[in-house]
Homo-oligomer: A and B are copies of this chain.
């Protein structure tokens, strides 16, 4: 995508508070990987794995960390920073500032009685705000989004197209819901009546989504049954994730695509859960734990640990056991024969 603003290498260095090695007047018209970058592009080196690409790269300038300082010589222009990825994020935001919202209320939007907001607001075509919805300053409600009766949003929330904020939901400031996210839906709870089927249990708990949370496209977050569902400040949730009723997620967690969290499970701060992992209900996951992709967690997870597999256990054990099984499978008939003869 052609950026809206161009920079020189010197301006990039100022922006990211980096040290410039080379020519400050190199003009940066875009950002690209080392492989694809041309002389007008800024690139970046985040891992030694990509060092071989650096030499061949035609990039006009390269963001690197001082760890790779020894390469920052020669004809190329470098910008040395603590964290090239953070620097890249800042440059991208500078070069591609998000389009300004169209402030105002589109004539096709439907606004319920008693809706109130602060300052300016952007409400897109056919968006729907139910009665008594409260919004902070600078919220953007995209086309076909629904904010149901009485829901509360803080400042600068961005509700994507077709996203739904159900009644009983409270969003903090700067919460982003991507397209198709459903937040605060009644959960899945039934009291069995035997052959008479399942009696639905009403959900009357809240759904609290704190500041700076992002919830991905088509993800679903159920409201609490009688307690609350809580997603802590700064936590980021990817696409197609399921968060069941009464789940409590701490701050700054990263939850990748297609993860499923069953009811009442508690996740502490800074936990990372990789794609397609599933956690049973009523568990506790300690601070900064890492849960590998596709892990099936059926017990508590200790703070700081890394688990994988089904049933999830320390990742080191999973690898060791997989290696052992591979070796044992080769000698299984011999082992059986030995047992047979020694019995």
Contacts and interface: CB of A to CB of B under 8 A. Distances in A.
Interface of A: 1, 3, 31-33, 36, 83, 85-86, 88-90, 92-93, 95-96, 98-99, 108, 110, 125-126, 128, 143-144, 146, 149, 161-162, 164, 166, 168, 178-180, 182, 185-186, 188, 190-191, 193, 195, 197-202, 204-206, 212, 214, 216-218, 220, 222, 226-227, 233-234, 236, 238-240, 242, 244, 251-252, 254, 256-258, 260, 262, 275-276, 278, 280, 293-294, 296, 298, 308-311, 317, 320-329, 331-332, 334-336, 338-339, 342-343
Contacts of A256: 188, 262
Contact of A240 (B149, B166, B198, B240): B240
Given A195-B252, A240-B260, A258-B258, 13 more contacts: A86-B191, A88-B201, A90-B199, A98-B202, A178-B186, A182-B239, A188-B239, A262-B293, A310-B310, A317-B326, A317-B329, A320-B329, A321-B325
A205 to B, nearest CB: 7
A238 B240 CA distance: 13
A190 B254 contact: yes
Contacts of A334: 339, 342-343
A143 B143 contact: no
A280 B7 CA distance: 35
The list of the 7 closest CB pairs from A to B, nearest first, reads A197-B234, A324-B329, A86-B191, A92-B202, A220-B239, A294-B296, A242-B257
A324 B335 CA distance: 11
